[in-house]
Structures are given as C-alpha cells and as structure tokens.
C-alpha cells in the first residue's frame, strides 16, 4: 500500500543505509496487516536480544524489525516509532493497517517498527484459544484451567515480557541503528510504552504522541466496565438528541434493558450466517456475548452508528445482527492479540495495583459488562508469574519534552479524563479531545497532517486543530441500508 519506487536510493540516504554491515542485517520485504491485506515495501531484519536483559549471555530471543524509509532523499535523522495497543498487538501490523495516517510524517522521516517482545514476529507469546473462552463462557474453573494450559505451552519464561523490559529493547535498537532520537507514537497500551520509554530514556526521545491515553498512575481493570457503560449511555443520549434516531428508536435505553434482562435469565440459541465464512451456523448468545459485542462496537464512530439499530432488532427478537458482530469482533481479537504477552503485562503492571476497597462494586454490577473482566483477570493473575517492573513505573511522566495527547469524547476505554491525568507533570503538552470520536484518533479528519506538523516543529504550539471541527462522524443507521440521506 505504501508507494516507495525509489526505495534503494532512499536507503542510501537514511541512517539505515549505513548499517548493512552491522549485526542487524536488513533485506527487502513486504509487511502487511494480515491475510488479505496488500503488502507494503519495507526493509526487514531480526534483532537478537537477551530474554533476561540482566543476563546478556543467557537465552536469546528474536525481535522482528522493519523500516519503511522516508520519501525524501535527504530525510530527517529521527524516525517516527508507532507503538501498538493491546497489550499484545503487533506494531508492524498496526502500522500496515493504518499506514495512511503516517504518510504525511513519512515524507521526510523513516518509520521505525519493532514488534514488542511477545507480539507479532517477536517471540510471540500466544496460546491456543478454547471455544468456550472465545464465546464468553468465563467461569472461574474454565479460566483457571485455560491459564494453566497456556502457561504450559509458552516457549519462553513469561516474566520477561513486561513494559519495563520492552523499552530496553527499543533503546538498544535505536543505538544499533544509529538514530540520535525517536519520535514516539503510542496508541492505547502503546501510550504506556511511550511514556515509560521517555521516562527511562529522555535524551533519546524527541517528541511523544499519545493516542487513547493510559495514565501511568491508573491500573486498568476495574474501570473498564464503568467506562464502557458511560460510553453506551453517551450513545443513547446522542441518539435521543438526534431527531431521526430518536424518532426511529424512541426508547433505545429501554430496549437495551429488555435485552439485558432476557439474556441475564440465560443464553439463547441464535442462527445466523457466519460473518467470516458466510456459512450457516448457530451460536449460544448470552450476557457475556452481548457485553463483548456492544463494548467493541462502541470503539469507533462507524460501528457506534449501528448500536441503536442492532439493540432495537434484538429487543424485537432478531438477535442475529448482534450475534454476527460478536462473532466477527471476537475472532479478530483472537487473531490480533498475543494472549501470553497480554497476561504478562496485566498481571505485573495492573492487577497488583488494584485497590479493591476503592472499587464501586454496586456500579460495577449495574454496568452491562459487570464484574466479568475483573474476575477473569483476577483468576488468570492468581497463577500467572509477575515480571520486572521499574520502581517509578506508576508515576505520571514528568517532562518538558513536546507531548501531543489525543482523545475521543466517546472512547469507551480511555476517555479524555485519562489524558488529563497523564499530563499533570507534562509542562510542554497539548490535549485534543475530538467530539463523538471513539478509541483512536490518528486517522480521523485532518489528524495525520496535525501529527506531521507537531513532529516537524517538535512544538505543541505548532498544532492548529481547528480543522478537526469538520471531522466526519457517522450518522446513526435507521435500518440496514444505512443512515437517512
């Protein structure tokens, strides 16, 4: 998808060009977001790193690295480094899936990609997923048994796949390739990586972009269900304020309550066409499947647009659209995330810092997700080994480095207030919160150009976000043909 017709010449003019004789050797390759996606020309290599950085002569693991060279024949010396979310996502696949968001920056900068250890092509810490787990049947016994099986099948010690270890890999890669500094762009969990890298290596960091911000001082877990409920409440309020949506779905909140009530009484059998294969199938659809479907639909405006319609259809007996969304999104997550790495991060960096006494369990029970995720995380982490974590990991990043923070007011997992928490000690920062947008802003409206402006100037004051006032928000679907014209 990326057009680099003069790739060989570009390599000669970038820091990568001087490194072909180094320990990390590169060759022409194509990177992709997954099966069925076009390939993007790049230069790929394998970076050897010790599994345990404190034992450099011990077991080594291979990390997948790629460089997409700048279009300019005389590029700037500091690349942009996209850092994927999850935790458990591949940064190479993340870039390949959203490459157009990075094209304005790539005009004069390399894109440096490394799959974080445990993800993608970097000693991926994956586990075969049992169908009961995929279908949302998170009983404590099933989750515990699955977690034991997962641990038994991992190829490497899961303790060494935390953020505190991963940032050492990135710094070692920077030194290996001779880049003087990095421009970091983290999305979701990747914002945690970016903040901690800047904390550990401020002299190696030029600019920081945080999209869907995870504040260091806030462990993820208890608030996931509460934020998801707030996001759904916002969708219903927006529908009520929209003349067309409110006319077609006048009691969407009551529809949702009716669906939840029916599924709380027990799962139902739903016949549908499989959204991937197209073949006829039947699935058991209960409260957990509903929670998974609605939560993931609430991530982006384009999928938010069908939430009232699918809920209304279910309230009137047609569960197939919601069940199809569950099937589609759950299969994508299974393919995209490395569960072993995900657990290593969550069980080291989040759950140990959860204060159960501060949790509003009454509100948690009332949410449409309920305590499901917290209970599953507690069960998994009861036997998952914890890894290294730096002493200052949970402190807000105190820095005068240029930082651009991006949020969507409809984000169901990292709301704008999370960015405000993260930036309390950032003296040179700008926060942009986009109205009615969901989780991830880099591709919305004129944001790719704003990111390029920020990186070029290394100054938040150079960003004029007035162009975001016209950013498109998908109208609500009133039927399966789409929104009203």
CATH for 176: 3.40.50.1820
Is residue 182 located within the same domain as residue 328?
no
**What is the residue range of 262's domain?**
249-336
Is residue 54 located within the same domain as residue 154?
yes
With a cut of 70, which residues of the chain have pLDDT below it?
Answer: 1-23, 129-138, 331-332, 334, 485
Examine residue 475 and state whether it is found in any structural domain, yes or no. Answer: no
Is residue 25 located within the same domain as residue 152?
yes
Is residue 131 located within the same domain as residue 214?
yes
The residue out of 293, 319, 336 marking a domain boundary is: 336
CA 333/CA 346 separation, integer angstroms: 16
Is residue 457 located within the same domain as residue 310?
no
Number of structural domains found in the chain = 2
- The pLDDT of residue 23 is 65
Q: Evaluate whether 250 touches 317 at the Cβ level (below 8 Å).
A: no
Examine residue 306 and state whether it is found in any structural domain, yes or no. Answer: yes
- Segment 213-265, tens digit of pLDDT: 999 999 988 789 999 999 999 999 999 999 999 999 999 999 999 999 999 99
Is residue 140 located within the same domain as residue 285?
no
Is residue 30 located within the same domain as residue 146?
yes
The residue out of 270, 301, 336 marking a domain boundary is: 336
Examine residue 48 and state whether it is found in any structural domain, yes or no. Answer: yes
Examine residue 236 and state whether it is found in any structural domain, yes or no. Answer: no
Q: Evaluate whether 121 touches 64 at the Cβ level (below 8 Å).
A: yes
Examine residue 314 and state whether it is found in any structural domain, yes or no. Answer: yes
- The pLDDT of residue 17 is 35
Q: Evaluate whether 211 touches 185 at the Cβ level (below 8 Å).
A: yes
3-class SS of residue 105: helix
Is residue 327 located within the same domain as residue 203?
no
pTM assigned to the model: 0.92
Is residue 177 located within the same domain as residue 57?
yes
Examine residue 477 and state whether it is found in any structural domain, yes or no. Answer: no
Is residue 190 located within the same domain as residue 92?
yes
CA 49/CA 427 separation, integer angstroms: 35
- Cα angle at 393 between 388 and 397, to 5 degrees? 155
Is residue 170 located within the same domain as residue 68?
yes
- Segment 90-135, tens digit of pLDDT: 999 999 999 999 999 999 999 999 999 999 999 999 887 654 444 4
- The pLDDT of residue 56 is 95
CA 420/CA 36 separation, integer angstroms: 39
- The pLDDT of residue 20 is 34
- The pLDDT of residue 138 is 58
The residue out of 293, 313, 336 marking a domain boundary is: 336
Residue 466 Rama label (left phi>0; alpha psi -120 to 50; beta): alpha
Examine residue 94 and state whether it is found in any structural domain, yes or no. Answer: yes
Which distant-in-sequence residues (6+ apart) come within 8 Å of 357 by Cβ? none
Examine residue 385 and state whether it is found in any structural domain, yes or no. Answer: no
Q: How many CB atoms neighbour CB 107 within 10 A?
A: 14
């Amino acid at each position: 998808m990326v057009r680099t017709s003069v790739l060989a010449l570009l390599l000669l003019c970038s820091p990568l060009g001087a490194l072909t004789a180094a320990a990390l050797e590169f060759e022409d390759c194509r990177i992709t977001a997954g099966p069925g996606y076009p390939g993007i020309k790049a230069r790929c290599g394998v970076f050897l790193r010790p599994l345990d950085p404190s034992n450099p002569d011990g077991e080594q693991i291979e990390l997948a690295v790629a460089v997409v060279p700048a279009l300019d024949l005389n590029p700037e010396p500091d690349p942009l480094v996209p850092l994927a979310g999850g935790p458990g996502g591949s940064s190479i696949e993340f870039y390949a899936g959203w490459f157009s968001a990075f094209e304005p920056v790539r005009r004069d900068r390399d894109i440096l990609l490394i799959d974080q250890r445990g993800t993608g092509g970097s000693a991926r810490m994956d586990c075969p997923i049992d169908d009961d787990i995929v279908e949302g049947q998170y009983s404590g016994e099933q989750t515990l048994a699955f977690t034991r099986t997962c641990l038994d099948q991992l190829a490497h010690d899961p303790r060494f796949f935390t953020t505190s270890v991963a940032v050492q890999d990135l710094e070692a890669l920077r030194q290996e390739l001779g880049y003087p500094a990095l421009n970091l762009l983290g999305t979701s969990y990747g914002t945690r990586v970016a903040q901690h890298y800047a904390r550990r290596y401020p002299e190696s960091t030029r600019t920081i972009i945080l999209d869907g911000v995870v504040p260091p001082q806030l462990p993820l877990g208890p608030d996931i269900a509460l934020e998801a409920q707030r996001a759904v409440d916002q969708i219903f309020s927006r529908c009520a304020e929209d003349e067309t949506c409110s006319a077609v779905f006048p009691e969407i909140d009551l529809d949702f309550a009716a669906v939840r009530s029916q599924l709380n009484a027990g799962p139902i059998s739903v016949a549908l066409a499989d959204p991937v294969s197209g073949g006829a199938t039947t699935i058991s659809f209960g409260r957990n499947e509903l929670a998974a479907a609605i939560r993931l639909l609430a991530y982006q405006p384009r999928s938010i647009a069908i939430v009232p319609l699918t809920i209304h259809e279910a309230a009137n007996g047609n569960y197939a659209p919601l069940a199809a969304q569950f099937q589609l999104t759950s299969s994508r997550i299974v393919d995209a995330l490395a569960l072993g790495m995900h657990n290593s991060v969550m069980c080291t960096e989040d759950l140990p810092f959860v204060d159960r006494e501060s949790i509003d369990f009454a509100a948690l029970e009332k949410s449409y997700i309920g305590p499901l995720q917290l209970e599953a995380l507690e069960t998994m982490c009861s036997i998952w080994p914890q890894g290294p974590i730096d002493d200052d990991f949970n402190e807000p990043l105190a820095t005068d480095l240029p930082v651009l923070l991006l949020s969507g007011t409809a984000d169901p997992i990292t709301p704008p207030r999370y960015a405000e928490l993260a930036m309390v000690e950032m003296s040179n920062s700008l926060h942009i919160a986009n109205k009615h947008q969901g989780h991830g802003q880099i591709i919305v409206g004129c944001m790719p150009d704003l990111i390029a402006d920020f990186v070029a100037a290394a100054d938040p004051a150079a960003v004029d976000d007035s162009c975001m006032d016209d950013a498109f928000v998908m109208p609500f679907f009133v039927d399966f043909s789409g929104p009203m014209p």
